Copies of this chain bind each other. A is one copy, B any other.
Amino acid sequence: MSDSTTTIDDLKRLVGNFVDRRDWHQFHAPKNLAMSMSIEAAELMEHFQWISARQSRQVGDDPRRLETIGDELADVLCYALAMTNELGLDLSTAIHRKMAKNEQKYPVEEYRGRYGPQDKGERGPRNREK
């Protein structure tokens, strides 16, 4: 059970069985699942609410904190997997397709070191990350 061997279908089945056994499909309308993904994404954000971006990079140093963050990420993912189950979506296909669109939208030559059109690249080493 690790990312090198676990397929998306393995995880879809894990979530699907959990939902089936509790007769929860009745609650899993895509509208509710989308709300749920947002609710859990906000719980993840709470861990970073008042600290800086730089400080947020250090959360991986504390095993307990990292586990809690893993829990919150898992919550978002489980609802996403539940939605793919309800809608019959192949998630890998959707991700590959979207990344292909991103390749077009953010050509490397233009966007190397720039996060978007509004990023004029006025960033020196001292200001790079705050």
Q: What is the size category of the interface that chain A forms with chain B?
A: 35 or more
User: Which residues in A have some Cβ–Cβ distance to B below 8 Å?
Assistant: 1-12, 14-15, 18, 21-24, 26-27, 29-32, 34-39, 41-57, 59-60, 66-67, 69-71, 73-78, 80, 83-84, 86-99, 101-103, 106, 108, 111-113, 115-116, 119, 128-130
21 contacts between A and B (CB under 8 A): A1-B96, A3-B7, A3-B90, A4-B7, A21-B112, A22-B111, A22-B113, A26-B129, A37-B41, A37-B44, A37-B76, A38-B45, A39-B45, A39-B49, A69-B89, A70-B98, A71-B101, A73-B83, A73-B89, A75-B98, A76-B80
